Each structure stands twice: as structure tokens, then as C-alpha cells.
Amino acid sequence: MTIVSYLNRAFNGFSSSSKLLVVFSLSGGGLLGYSETQPNGPTPTSNIEHERLTNKKKVVVLGTGWASTSFLKDLDISSYDVQVVSPRNYFAFTPLLPSVTCGTVEARSIVEPVRNIIKKKNGEIQFWEAECTKIDAANKKVLCRSVINSNLVGKEEFSLDYDYLVVATGAEVNTFNTPGVTEYCHFLKEVEDAQKIRRSVIDCFEKAILPELTEEERRINLHFVIVGGGPTGVEFAAELHDFVHEDLVKLYPMVKDLVRISVIQSGDHILNTYDSRISTFAEQKFARDGIDVHTGCRVLGVSDKEVNVKVKSSGENVSMPHGMVVWSTGVSTRPIVKDFMDQIGQGNRKILATDEWLRVKGCENVYAIGDCATIDQRKVMEDIGAIFNAADTDKSGTLTVEEFQDIIDDILMRYPQVELHLQSKRLSNVTDLLNDTDGNVRKEVDIEGFKLALSEVDSQMKSLPATAQVAAQQGTYLSNCFNKRELAKITPEGPRRFKGTGRHGFCPFRYKHFGQFAPLGGEQAAAELPGDWVSVGRSTQWLWYSVYASKQVSWRTRVLVVSDWTRRFIFGRDSSRI
Ligand code: FAD
């Protein structure tokens, strides 16, 4: 049998709905792998309508980002009628957005149509491409408006009722109300932003080489300013540096010495949320690469020509002429979430607060996951009396070590800060907390001694970072709670209630940190790994490649991303301005 006829047979062996396509392009022929399982075609609308008429609880999910897609992926939809609303009909793998800005990977390689994701649920999840304009918590409905801007006929606005609402709308760029930022800066939050940046970089080069420009004008056009020395700003600076020095200098040799990349950071170091070894490595690498890092500087305003910066140490105001500016200084709450917060009495907060079970505080049956919310962790000191009473089983007014041991698992489950405190104090045994200030073992403590023993634990409370890792874990956690909702009423799996009786249905959400990367260009990366491990250099870049390839949401995007990386290695990045 020839190879061709063998492949023919193999292909015909698969149903049209389950394909493994193998085509790899190498010198006009080749191999590329694609595999996607689609168990059935879309369910007819009549079936969906039928489901709606059954007594399934209605779940409305806002957003198609990290938090919501991981929620949808694992949700058992046999007991829920699920509708998803988002202005974006795709999921974007945001950690690779900086790579899109310079064409290291293509935009379409990092997105997955949301209909592909929900199709796996046999067509029973409905998706509406629209933005939620208002959450009406009192009437348990959301108001939505189509974002399809065209001459297509039909109403644009609609409303959806819910029994449970999952808010996963992410956050928006924080400009800190700095004048000129919205008008003159690029952001790097969405796929469209990355595509715009890619075009602007090329524009700067094309403009800089036009005849009859002075050298100073060429220099200004090729000055790229990045405001924000966090992971996104640093990764973009590194990508841009590679793009310029590996590809563009060959195409625009006459201006290669005029290019300048500046990173403006208000703190004392770039990557200051990382281990100090990583931020030092990054600063040294940028210094070697000729990327100017201006720490301790605050941007006062941006115009089409200049960035005005205040140098904190000298109080001096400096103006930097620029070709383009990328603003990457963190995130803030979206207006629709702010409006919702006003309705439910959270108007004085900056970020929507949930409890440890991701339920929005002050609102029934609404959950919030991902960047749009923060967990308001309960303090041990708020419950200290109740904990003491629950532990003091013989009601003697003092707590013995044995009584404390009986309750400690529930305390550790309910208040994660206790474990962090034990780690920070390097205490191996929880009962060591009861020791007196000189470290002497105490057999029992009264309420005052107990308060003293736990007085420091709340200082370990930290809010979780706004990352994809947190958002995805919250989505998975919440779908698990939804799937076991009925079961948990009979067999609750959470800690005991210190105030009240019985147990909580579920354990509170607990974030597990798997480490974080910082790609620094030139095939070098830094990584902070669990267990206080830090890894830097070329091998870490290869670890980055493998982790990011494995984390892709589908085989389709995995293959596209890996083939983009391969293409870049062989042919370099494409500098066409399209
Ligand atoms: P998003 O992923 O932002 O999704 C929000 C969703 O809500 C979107 O679908 C949006 O269209 C939709 N939406 C918005 N408004 C409405 C509305 N009114 N109605 C309905 N839907 C709405 N994190 C990491 O852990 N590692 C990284 O390496 C990393 N790199 C990053 C690089 C960049 C350039 C950026 C921008 C972020 C990066 N992050 C990284 C952070 C990570 O992307 C976010 O923390 C994560 O996307 C948060 O997920 P989310 O689901 O809360 O929000």
C-alpha cells in the first residue's frame, strides 16, 4: 500500500465530525496536526427552547475570558440552562498578546472561537454576542446590547433573567486619569490593541526613513516609550527589542542606530512583584540590551509628541519626545461593575468584593470571578470569640492543646492566612501558636491568651493578583460548586461554621500558585517557581515555550502557536503593515 493510499484510508476512517488532519508545510509539502472532537452537530433551537421550559436553573455568564471559559469548560449543564453574554465571540490567550505586537505569533493563533468551546457541550450553552449594559440585581436580570455595528436589521437590546449570575467581565486599563493617555497611548489589553501596536511600530519605521527628515525627527519617530514596568510592559519591551534587532535593522539599516526603547516605572525596580533576583536580572539584561529603564518616575501627561514625566528623586519635570507610547500600568473596575456595586451597597469600594466562596457580598445568587472582583477574606480576629467558644467544648473558659487540635483543621480551611503565618514564622506545629512570647509551651490558654496567639495571623492576608492563573482556578472552583450544589446540601464538605451550626457546603476558594514567567527577549526568560525557586536564562525560555504550548485551550491553537514560533525561527517576523 502506498503512503498516499494509506493516508486516504486513514482519513476516510474518521467521521466528518471527528478529524485528525495532518498537513505539515515543509518545502511545499508537510505535516500539521489538528484534532478537535465534536461529538454532535448543533442542537436544533426547538430542543434548546424545550430545555428552557424545563425546571433547570437559569445561569447567565458575563464574559468569555479566562474565568468564564474555565467555568464553562467544567460545568455540568445537565442541571443548568446556561447563557453566555460577551462582546467578544472568542477566548484570547492573553499571555501571548505581547508576542502578537511584533508578529512573533499571529493574532488568530491565540484565539479560540467561543462557539468551539461551547459546542463541546452539545449545543446546550447559548452564546449571545453583546455587552451587558446593566445588572439589575433587584429583578434578577441583565440588560444587554448587541455590539454588531452594521446596517443589519432587528432590535439591538434584550434582557435575560437569571437564577444565578456569574460576573466575569474582567477589568479595564487604569489610566489613573492621566491627561492624554486615552487619546495618545496604545494599550495592550485586547487582541485588537496588539494588532494596532504592530502596525504602529512599522509606521514609526516607515515614517523615520522618509526623505527630508532631520536626524532628530528620525530619532523621535523611533523612540518607543513604555509606561509601566510590570510583566506586560517588560515583556513588550523585550519583544520590541528582539523585533527591532533581529528583523527590522536588516530592513531599515539606515536608521538602525537611532532606535530607542524607554521603560518608565514609578517604583524603584521593574518587575517589582517578582522575586528581587528576577527584577535584578531583568534590569541587568535591559541595561546590556540598551533598553533605558527610568525608575522612580511618574507620568504627568501625554501629548501626541511628548510624554511629561516627573522624576520623584529630584522633583524635576522632564519631557520625552516619542514616536509611540504603550500604556501598561494595571487595571481598574469596568463602569458596568461600578454601577452594580452602587446598587448593592459596595459603592465606596474600588473593586467588587466577594466572600471566600466567590459569592458577591450583599447580593444573592450572584458570583464574581477573575479580574472583576477581589475576595474579601474574613479576619480571624473578627471571629475570635466564636472560634474560642466552638473549641472550648467543656465550656471551662480555657482552651487546652487537645481542644485546639480538634478545631485546627477547620481553622486552617476557613482562614488561609493562618497557614501563611505558620510558614512565615517557620512553625512546624500549629499548636506552637499557643506558646508564650518566650516560646514556652502552654498547656491551656484563656480567651485573652488565645487572642494574643492569633493576633498576628491577619497581617498575612493578601489580595490575589489579577492574573489568568487566578481567574482560571476560580472558574474551575466555581463550576465544581455548581456541579455539587445539591450534593453539598446533604454532605457538606466545607469547614464548620464558627458562627451558627453545621458546616459550610464547600471549602472556600484556595489559590494555588504555580509560579510565573517573565520573558526578557534574546531567548532568555526568568521564572519564579513554587518553593521559592528562581530560574533564569535560556533554559527557562524553553520551559516557557513548553508551558505556554501546553496551556493552549485547544489542539488547533497549540499547533498554530508552535508553527508560528517555528516560522519565526526560520524566516523571522513579518514586517508588512496590514
Ligand atoms: P478577561 O480575560 O479580560 O475576560 C473578560 C471578558 O469579559 C472578555 O470576554 C470581555 O469581552 C468580557 N466583557 C467585558 N465587558 C463586558 C460586558 N459589559 N458584558 C459582557 N462581557 C463583557 N496572566 C497570567 O496569569 N499570566 C500571564 O502571563 C499574563 N499575561 C498577560 C499579558 C497581557 C498583555 C495581559 C493584558 C494580561 C495578562 N495576564 C496574564 C492577565 C490575564 O490576562 C488576566 O488576569 C485574565 O485575562 C483575567 O481573566 P478574566 O476572565 O477575569 O478577564
Q: Give the cell for residue 465.
A: 493578583
**Is there an atom of ligand 1 within 6 Å of 186 CB?**
no
**Is there an atom of ligand 1 within 6 Å of 94 CB?**
yes
Asked if residues 562 and 549 have their Cβ atoms less than 8 Å apart, the reply is: yes
Ligand 1: centre distance to CA 372 (Å): 9
Q: What is the pLDDT of residue 432?
A: 79
Determine the residue of 371, 477, 516, 529 to mutate for testing ligand 1's pocket, defined as the one with the most ligand atoms within 8 A of the Cβ atom: 371
**Is there an atom of ligand 1 within 6 Å of 371 CB?**
yes
Residue nearest atom 16 of ligand 1, based on CA coordinates: 169
Burial class (CB in 10 A: 0-12, 13-18, 19+), 323: buried
**Is there an atom of ligand 1 within 6 Å of 88 CB?**
yes
Residue nearest atom 36 of ligand 1, based on CA coordinates: 189
**Is there an atom of ligand 1 within 6 Å of 475 CB?**
no
Q: State the greatest distance between any 2 C-alpha atoms of the chain, in Å, as a whole number.
A: 91
Asked if residues 502 and 508 have their Cβ atoms less than 8 Å apart, the reply is: no
Q: What is the pLDDT of residue 54?
A: 63
Q: Give the cell for residue 393.
A: 467544648
Q: What is the pLDDT of residue 49?
A: 53
Asked if residues 517 and 535 have their Cβ atoms less than 8 Å apart, the reply is: no
pLDDT digits (tens, 9 = 90+) for 129-163: 999 999 999 999 999 999 887 788 888 899 999 99
* The pairing of beta strand 306-311 with beta strand 317-321: antiparallel
**Is there an atom of ligand 1 within 6 Å of 180 CB?**
no
Residue nearest atom 20 of ligand 1, based on CA coordinates: 86
- List per-residue pLDDT tens for the chain, 578 residues long: 443 344 344 434 434 333 333 333 333 333 333 333 344 444 444 454 555 556 789 999 999 999 999 999 989 888 899 999 999 999 999 999 999 999 999 999 999 999 998 886 666 899 999 999 999 999 999 999 998 877 888 888 999 999 999 999 999 999 999 999 999 999 999 999 999 999 999 999 999 999 999 999 999 999 999 999 999 999 999 999 999 999 999 999 999 999 999 999 999 999 999 999 999 999 999 999 999 999 999 999 999 999 999 999 999 999 999 999 999 999 999 999 999 999 999 999 999 999 999 999 999 999 999 999 999 999 999 999 999 888 888 888 888 888 888 888 899 999 988 888 888 888 877 777 877 777 777 778 888 888 888 888 888 888 899 999 999 999 999 999 999 999 999 999 999 998 888 999 999 999 999 999 999 999 999 999 988 899 999 999 999 999 999 999 999 999 999 999 999 999 999 989 88
Q: What is the pLDDT of residue 353?
A: 97
**Is there an atom of ligand 1 within 6 Å of 311 CB?**
no
Q: What is the pLDDT of residue 12?
A: 41
> CA 472 to CA 477: how far, in whole Å?
9
> CA 411 to CA 421: how far, in whole Å?
13
Atom of ligand 1 minimally distant from the CA of 95: 30
**Is there an atom of ligand 1 within 6 Å of 353 CB?**
no
**Is there an atom of ligand 1 within 6 Å of 97 CB?**
yes
Determine the residue of 369, 467, 478 to mutate for testing ligand 1's pocket, defined as the one with the most ligand atoms within 8 A of the Cβ atom: 467
**Is there an atom of ligand 1 within 6 Å of 468 CB?**
yes
> CA 237 to CA 225: how far, in whole Å?
9
Asked if residues 143 and 132 have their Cβ atoms less than 8 Å apart, the reply is: yes
Distances (CA, A) of 20 to 4, 15, 32, 36, 113: 15, 10, 10, 7, 19
Q: What is the pLDDT of residue 16?
A: 36
Ligand 1: centre distance to CA 548 (Å): 16
